[in-house]
A and B are shown apart, each in its own frame.
Chain A
Amino acid sequence: MSAVRRPVMANPRPRTRPARYAIAVVIAAVLVLVLIANSLLDYALLDSIAGRTSLFGLLAVALIAVATFIAVRVLDRDPAQRRRHAVRAAVLLGFATLLWLLVSDFFLFARAAGPGVAAVCALACLPTTAFALLVVRRIDRNEKEPWRLVLVAAAWGALVATSLVIWGESFWQSIAVSTLVPGPGLDTAQAFSAGLLEELGKGTAVVLLFLVMRNEFDDVVDGIVYGAAVGLGFNFMESITYMTNLYAIFTPENSGAAAAGFQWYARQVLGLFMGHATYTAYVGAGIGIARQLPTPGKKVLAIVAGFVVAIAAHFSWDAWLTFFPIGTGAFVLIGVHLRTLLMTGPFTAGVIALLVMGLRNESAALATQLREEAATGSGAVLPQEVDILTHPWRRFLERYRALDRKGMAAYARVGRLQAAQLDLAMERWHRARQEIETPLEAEDELRREILVLRRQAAF
C-alpha cells in the first residue's frame, strides 16, 4: 500500500499570508514587551520572590513562544518535515515546562515544600487534567481538533498565562495593599485583578490560536474546545502551585498533606470543569461565534462579549466566595459542593447551552452539505454514506465493522476517510457562508484525496 498524503484541512491556508498573521505578530510582540517591562519593574520595585520569578521565567516564556511557532508549522509543513518540527517543538516545550517548574518550585513555594512534593502534586494533577482534556476534545463530535493544537492550548494556559498572571497580580496586589482599606473593598479589588488579568492572559492564547490557526477554528464548538483546553492548562499549574504552597504552610501544623489533598479535590475534581475551563470557554465561544459573523462590528462585539462573561464569571467567584455559607462540621463538605455548584454551575450551564446550540447548528449544516455533495455525483460522498456520516455513533459502528473484518489498520483507514469527508463538508459549509478565503481548487484537491482514501479503505 502506498503512503497517502494527509487530506487538505477544511479551509486550507492560502499561499499569501492573510492580514490576521500581522495582527498575531503585533499581539505577540506587545505581549513580549509587556512581559519584559513587567518583569523588570517587578524585580526593581517589588524585590520579592515573585519579582525574581518574573525575571527567570522570561526564558520559559520565550521557549514556549518558539515551541508554539514550531508546533503550528508542524500542521502546515511538508509531511517529511513534520516529524522534525514536532520533535523540536516537543523538546522546547519540555525544556520550558521543566524550567518553569524549577522556577516555580525554587523561587515560589517549593523552596519550602521541596521539589519532591511539587513532583507528587504534578503527578496527582496529571491524570485528572488529561481526562478533562480528553472529554473536552471529544465533545467536538463532528470534527475533533488535532491533539497537537489542544495540547499547545493547554501548555499556553499552564505556562504563559500563569506567568502573565503572576506578574500582573503581584504588581496589582502590591499597590492595592498599600492604598486600599483592608476588608471587602480590597477583596473586591483583588477579585477584579484575578478576573481581568487571568482571563486576559488565558484569552490572549485563544485569540492567538484563532489568528494563526483559523483553519482549525471552525465555529463556536471549536472555540469552546480551545478555550476550555487553555483553562485546563491554567488550572493544572495553579493546582500544583496552590497544593505545594498549602503543603508548605500547613506541614508545621501536621496537616500539610490534608491541606494539599483538599486543594487537589477542590480544583482537580470539583472545579475541574466548573472553574477556569468554564471561564476561558466563554472567550473561545466568543471568538468561535465571531468567526462566523458577517460584519467586523459584530465580530468585535462577540469577542468582547466572550471576554466580559469570562471576566464576570471569574470575578463573581473570587469576590463573593466568602459570602456563601458553607456551614460547620459535617455540613462543610456539603456546603463546599453546593457553593461550587450554585456559584459556578450557572456559568457552566451557559457554556453547555452554547455548546449544544453550536453542535446542533454544525450537525445540521454538515448534513445539508453532505447531502448536496452526494448529489453532485463526485464520489467523495456517496448517498448511502450521508446518514452514517451525520451520526457519530453510526460512524463508530462503521469503523467497528472495519475493525471486525480487517483489523486495526482498516479501522484507522475508515476513520481517516470519514474525517476527510467531514472536512470537505465543513469546507463547503464555510464556502456557502462566504467565510472562506481559499480558492475552490482546494475543495477539488480534497475530493481527490477522499477518493484515494476510499480506495484504501476498500482493501
Chain B
Amino acid sequence: MSARQSDPVTGLYRTLLAFAAIGIVLLTAGLIEFAHFEPIANSGLHARIVGVYRYDTATGQTSGANTQTFARADDFAAVVDWSGLPDKITVQALWYDGFQNIVGSVGPGHPSELRDHTTIPADVPPDLKFHLPGEYIFAIERIVDGQPVEVLARRLVEVERS
C-alpha cells in the first residue's frame, strides 16, 4: 500500500464527500418538493381584486378607500370580483400573514359558488388582540386535484408595527 493511500486526510476527505452526498440528496428532495408545489402552470386567466379596505367585523361591511397599509388594530378585507373567471375551474382566495399562516379564506369552489363571498376579511389569529405586523399576501389561487397550482391574482398589504 502506498503512503498516499494510507494518508489519514483521505479518510476525512471521503467522510466529507459522503456527507456531501447526503446533502445533495436533501437538496434534491427540496427541489422536488418545490417543483411539486410550484408546478409550471399558466392558464392565462386573471382574477380581479377590486381592492383592500377597512372592514367592520360587526356589520361585515368594508369602508373607505382602497388601501395598501394598515395599523395592527385595523380590521381589513379584500373585495373580489369573481365574474371574470370561467366556471369550469376551481378557485380559492386566501390571506397569508407575514409568517405565511393562513388568516382568512374563501373556497375552494367554482367561481359561481363563491359569488356570495366577495368580501374576504383577514382574521386576527386566535389568542391575539391585534394583527401580526408584516407583509400580508392576498392570493386568488386556481386549484387542481386539491392543490393550488397558479395564482390568478395577488395583492400585498403591509401591516405596520405601531
**Contact indicator A220/B19 (Cβ below 8 Å):** no
Given contacts A186-B100, A309-B20, contact A289 B37 (CB under 8 A): no
Bits for A380-401, please: 1 = Cβ < 8 Å to B, else 0.
0000000000000000000000
Q: Are A309 and B13 in contact (CB under 8 A)?
A: no
Q: Report whether B24 and A353 are in contact in the complex, using a CB–CB cutoff of 8 Å.
A: no
| Known pairs A181-B151, A289-B9, A357-B11; A315 contacts B30 (CB<8 A) | yes
Report the number of A-B residue pairs with Cβ-Cβ less than 8 Å.
125
Q: Are B150 and A289 in contact (CB under 8 A)?
A: no
A296 at the interface (CB under 8 A from B): no
Decide yes or no: A312 and B128 within 8 Å by CB, A181-B37, A188-B33, A249-B133 being known contacts.
Answer: no
CB–CB A220/B4 < 8 A? no
Closest to B162 in A: A112
- Say yes or no: B150 contacts A181, CB within 8 Å: yes
Q: How far is the CA of A357 from the CA of B9 in the complex (A)?
A: 9
A329 within 8 A of B: no
Query: What is the chain A residue whose CB lies nearest that of B141?
Result: A181
- Nearest CB of A to B145, in Å: 14
Q: Contacts of B34 on A, CB cut-off 8 Å?
A: 185, 188-189, 192
| Contact of B139 with A by CB under 8 A | yes
Smallest distance from the beta carbon of B132 to chain A beta carbons, Å?
Answer: 6
Is residue A253 contacting chain B, with contact meaning CB distance below 8 A? yes
Q: Is the CB of A183 within 8 A of B161?
A: no
**CA–CA, A249 and B27, complex, Å:** 33
List chain B residues, Cβ under 8 A from A182. 94, 96, 100, 137, 139, 141, 151
Interface residues in A80-131 (C-beta closer than 8 Å to B): 111-112
* Neighbouring B residues of A286 by C-beta, 8 Å: 16
Minimum CB–CB distance for B107 against chain A, Å: 14
Q: Most chain-A Cβ atoms within 10 A of its Cβ — which of B15, B19, B96, B161?
A: B19
Given A182-B96, A309-B19, residue A192 in contact with residue B30 (CB < 8 A): yes
Taken residue by residue from 3 to 24, chain B's Cβ proximity to chain A (1 for < 8 Å, 0 otherwise) reads as 0100011011101110110111
A181 touches B12 (CB 8 A): no
Segment at the B interface, from A3-11, A16-24, A70-78, A300-308: A300-308
Q: Is A294 an interface residue (CB 8 A)?
A: yes
* Shortest CB distance B55–A (Å): 20
Give the chain A neighbours of B22 by CB distance below 8 A.
Answer: 309, 312
Q: Is A379 an interface residue (CB 8 A)?
A: no
- The interface residues of chain B lying within 8 Å CB-to-CB of A304 are 20
Check A294/B4 contact, CB under 8 A, given A181-B38, A188-B34, A315-B27. yes
For B129, give the chain A residue with the smallest CB separation.
A253
Residues of A within 8 A of B37 (CB): 181, 183-185, 188
Given that A311-B23, A364-B8 are known contacts, is A188 also in contact with B30, CB under 8 Å in the complex?
Answer: yes
Given A178-B156, A312-B24, CB of A293 within 8 Å of CB of B30? no
Contacts of A309 in B (CB 8 A): 16, 19-20, 22-23
A305 to B23, CA, bound (A): 9
Where the two chains meet, the residues of A that have a C-beta atom closer than 8 Å to any C-beta of B are 111-112, 177-178, 180-189, 191-192, 219-220, 248-249, 252-253, 282, 285-286, 289, 292-294, 298, 301-302, 304-306, 308-309, 311-313, 315-316, 319, 350, 353-354, 357-358, 360-361, 364
Given contact pairs A177-B135, A305-B17, A309-B20, enumerate 11 new A-B contacts (beta carbons under 8 Å): A181-B37, A183-B148, A184-B33, A185-B37, A192-B34, A289-B9, A289-B12, A305-B20, A308-B27, A309-B19, A315-B30
B interface, CB within 8 angstroms of A: 4, 8-9, 11-13, 15-17, 19-20, 22-24, 26-27, 30, 33-34, 36-38, 72, 94, 96, 100, 128-130, 132-133, 135, 137, 139, 141, 148-151, 154, 156, 161-162
Report 26 cross-chain contacts, Cβ distance below 8 Å, ordered by A residue: A180-B151, A181-B141, A182-B139, A183-B100, A183-B148, A185-B36, A185-B38, A189-B38, A191-B30, A219-B9, A220-B9, A220-B12, A248-B133, A249-B161, A253-B130, A289-B16, A293-B9, A294-B4, A305-B23, A308-B27, A309-B20, A311-B23, A312-B22, A316-B26, A357-B15, A358-B12
